[in-house]
Structure 1
Amino acid sequence: MHFLIFLGSVRDSTPPNPPRLGLRVARACADQIEHDGAHSAEIIDPLDYDLGGIFKPHFAYPASRVPDDLDALAQRIQAADGYVMISPEYNHSMSPALAHLLNHFGSSLFSYKPSAIVSYSAGQWGGTRAAVAMRTFLSELGCLPVSAMIQIPRARDVLDEAGNVSDEAEAADWAAYFDRTFQQLFWWADATRQHRQKVDPHSLARPFRRDPSQRNAPG
């Protein structure tokens, strides 16, 4: 199966140092997902996409005028079997950069697939409060998060630039900690993929594609 790892940071300068602590976390997640060769992972870095100065989601463009990179990402989202969402914590909530990126796409692309929540911090809490807030956001996207979450406090000390655990004595413990979450992700991704092949979920509940009135109650 193939998984997209969404990096929730656009910082590319100091301070803080290192400026892209989340990239270490994303690389660690990719390595863990791919370690036995059964699955593949792709890091989605918001710095690779020009989202423009004025917010306009993918589904709001006429079909002939959708920006190429935005459309390519929409296709990747639709084709993926599941998602890993990585976020630091801002004001007890998820990264604005991650929310901004994800908000460009409708729930019909993400829905009926699982997600995993991964948070991190330079301090001792590991982004726990952001992780809790992300559950509601991801549920609304339709990619319900698995119950096990990953929190990485003091991520700069735990992971090196390549995403490897810095202390070899702790490497096995961190691998087991990551694996608990990702095994849940793999199980649900396989289950939902098999069921989507039997029954098209969008034929049962029409996807949200046009405007907010599609969610209005009658009357």
Structure 2
Amino acid sequence: MLPTPTEWSIPRWISVLVRSLLGCQVLISLLGVAYYLVGLDSWRQEGSGGDPSADASVLHDLHLVLGEPAVTLYTLTGIAFIVWLRKARSAAEFISPDATLDTPAWTVACWVIPIGTYFLPYQVVRKIWLASEPRGQQPAAGPVRSPLVLTWWLLFVVARLSGGLVVEIPAQFSVGGHEVMDGVLAGCDLVRAAAAVLAMVLVHRLGTLQQARAAQLFSRLPGQPAPAPQL
């Protein structure tokens, strides 16, 4: 007797947790974008003899308060995402036993390999995605290729590389070369927000694909209930 969906599918709470943490990352990144853009305007005002706007001061305080919690949030999100990916790999192995997948240990270890961390996880996620896509009506039909995984990974790598550009926000606004730096930092936060949004879509979409693929599998077996859809 085949295992029930609750025994092989990704636990719903893990998917919800990962998407919630990613949503918090989006909010913090967008806050950074707003801070730097408002800061640009404030420096121009100060250069003209004015004072930084009240909005800029509020955003500055929020950015300082959320600085350390944001680092913890990124770490927790990374751990939760890897746990989710490990579960997704197990589900993909069940619904597509003929698929070529990396080992469970490599699914985790690939994220900490020096240099390889910039391309190895993409290969792992791509294999899981391809194994999770429903098959076509014809046996020879291959899985439909999606640009989602590649787009997400490119944004993720750019976001990681841009992390080296982040510097401590000065306690006071000052004039002289800050406009360019703030524009760059705002762009970095915007890329991080976009990568997090696509990661949320990836988590939801992969779960949906695996449910559809499992429905195909169970439909061929008499007496087997179709898996319940994930939210």
- Alignment TM-score, normalising by the size of structure 1: 0.31
Q: Give the structure with the larger strand fraction.
A: 1
- Alignment TM-score, normalising by the size of structure 2: 0.30
Q: Which structure's relative contact order is higher, taking Cα pairs within 8 Å and 6+ residues apart?
A: 2
- Tell which structure's C-alpha radius of gyration is larger: 2
